[in-house]
Amino acid sequence: MPGGSLLKLYIYNNTISLKEEQQHQNVLFYHPEVPLDEQLMDIGLSAAFGGFHFNFDNDTGISSCCTDGFQMVWFEAETDFWIGITVRRQPENAGFVEDAEATALTALLKQGYRLFRMQYGCMSKHFRETLPELRDNLKSFWKPYIQWITGPIAQGLDLYDTLDGVEYLPVDRSAYLKMQSVVNHLETEFPSIQASMVIVDNLLLYTGLNLDDTHTLYKFLSRRQRTTKNASPMDNVLYLCHPYARGDESYSGFLTATCGAFEPGKGTLRNFVSEKFNIGKKSSGAYKPISIWIGPRHESNSNGKDLKKTTLVVFQSQRMILTFLCDPDELAKQTDKDVNGRFFGDLHSFLTDTLARSSQSITQNITRSIVWDEAYQYIYFNRMNLALKSSLKRKGADAQESLRRVERLQIGFEDTPGMKEAWVRTKENTWVVGRKSGSREFYSVFEGKSHLTEAHEEVKRVSQVFFNGIFVD
């Protein structure tokens, strides 16, 4: 979609104080810094729209308002905790589908909230304990997050931002079971590890987390791997990468500060934390572990309840990223037994020996469809597990136009629940086809087919190649 400029982002809770002279206490975070009267005016407008919205729909905490110049979106992250954003729309946005713009901005707010919750826990928890700490945490997280999303908003959000899916690694059954066996063995040998996740080439191979936590952690880790040279504002969200490992696919070792990690050949206590953000750094100069809040393994934690604190440990083995979420109390006991970091030394040895035997087998079994991906333009998305597979590119005028056409089709499916299939032929003789089966959606763009029968045969061919058994006539 055409770009815009981020004007405001704010977080508030109107239940903190009901007294008019204390309304300023309801403002938890506001960007940029403006007079308090302007902050209260924006929050009052948001609350008015939200109240009006709930008179008609009690099932959702999302509201939006679009004018010729501005797009405003509000999202209720937790009960009574609202996040709002205002974006200035460019003149060329006038003919664009407003729903798509609002949905993409809402996706950015949801992603930001999930990342905040994973690092700090629920806002309501801090609210009950200490309000100043909540304000500090919101400021520490959202300021760099705003820096990060300013660029994508200016360049223009697209369908991929709206879908916000997870790209899974296509491997055969034996390769997947082999990795699952490795993880099960590892968690048995190291009981302090409560959950694990494995990413190869930015694609998810295995996860022991629930879908919400998998989605959040995957989106950060895959993004962080793409940042190879310059520090990203997102560096202070979850963990800081070992500076020598950035962009080095041959590296094998820990990527997180490990409170006394054993690093072969580099001395005993070597911890690497970016001086720019000082994440995980204590005032004494030592380093503390990075805490991550996760929900029950087999339950959704979209409501943020029953979260527990874990310690994040990330290990890189060439093209593979292994993420471990450990019990902080058990981890502290094990690391305190040996100042040389016996736990991390044992874990390093185990991973090095085990992955040396299995990683080659796994990478050899990667069944990428590179040739087919170049021959077809398609997007596949499963709303149940957020699986996303696509060959449509994001850059270039033609690619952006194709994405916009698919986006309009996708909105049509949402607005018409009973619709299963849609065919659109443009004046340039380009076909845009959408098919839906349950939670699965498939979109294809292709050229050079004059008649509907030819287009139908082409769609059948693509479906059989990539999604055999999912879409049937």
The pLDDT, as a whole number, for residue 207 is: 94
The residue-averaged pLDDT of 214-238 equals 55
High-pLDDT (> 70) share of the chain, %: 70
**pLDDT-wise least confident of 239-248, 328-337, 420-429:** 239-248
pLDDT for 388 beyond 60: yes
Q: Is the dihedral of CA 145, 301, 176, 382 positive or negative?
A: negative
Is pTM, for the whole model, over 0.95?
no
The pLDDT, as a whole number, for residue 391 is: 84
The residue-averaged pLDDT of 240-253 equals 54
Distance CA 102, CA 110 (A): 12
Confidence band for 128, pLDDT divided at 50, 70 and 90:
low
The pLDDT, as a whole number, for residue 198 is: 92
The pLDDT, as a whole number, for residue 193 is: 93
Distance CA 6, CA 72 (A): 10
Distance CA 399, CA 393 (A): 6
**pLDDT-wise least confident of 29-43, 114-128, 139-153, 223-237:** 223-237
Range among 57-71, 91-105, 114-128, 331-345 rated most confident: 114-128
pLDDT for 285 beyond 60: no
The more confident residue out of 71 and 340 is 71
Q: How far apart are the first and last CA of the chain?
A: 33
pLDDT digits (tens, 9 = 90+) for 17-59: 878 778 888 999 999 999 999 999 988 888 887 666 555 655 5
In the numeric block, the tokens 């994973």 are attached to 118
pLDDT for 242 beyond 70: no
pLDDT digits (tens, 9 = 90+) for 412-443: 888 888 888 888 888 777 888 888 888 889 89
Confidence band for 367, pLDDT divided at 50, 70 and 90:
very low
List alpha helices for 130-230, DSSP H. Answer: 131-155, 159-163, 173-189, 211-226
Report which of 194, 206, 420, 407 is spatially closest to residue 310, judged by C-alpha positions: 194
Confidence band for 85, pLDDT divided at 50, 70 and 90:
very high
Pairing mode, strands 70-78 and 62-66: antiparallel
The pLDDT, as a whole number, for residue 83 is: 94
The more confident residue out of 305 and 242 is 305
| Cα–Cα distance list, 181 to 139, 187, 315, 354, 355 (Å) | 42, 10, 18, 11, 12
The more confident residue out of 452 and 257 is 452
Confidence band for 166, pLDDT divided at 50, 70 and 90:
very high
Confidence band for 374, pLDDT divided at 50, 70 and 90:
low
The pLDDT, as a whole number, for residue 302 is: 59
pLDDT for 234 beyond 50: no
pLDDT for 339 beyond 50: no
Exposure pattern of 266-302 as b/e (b: 16+ CB <10 Å)? Answer: eeebbbbbbeebebbbeeeeebebbbbbbbeeeeebe
Report which of 66, 389, 33, 344 is spatially closest to residue 203, judged by C-alpha positions: 389
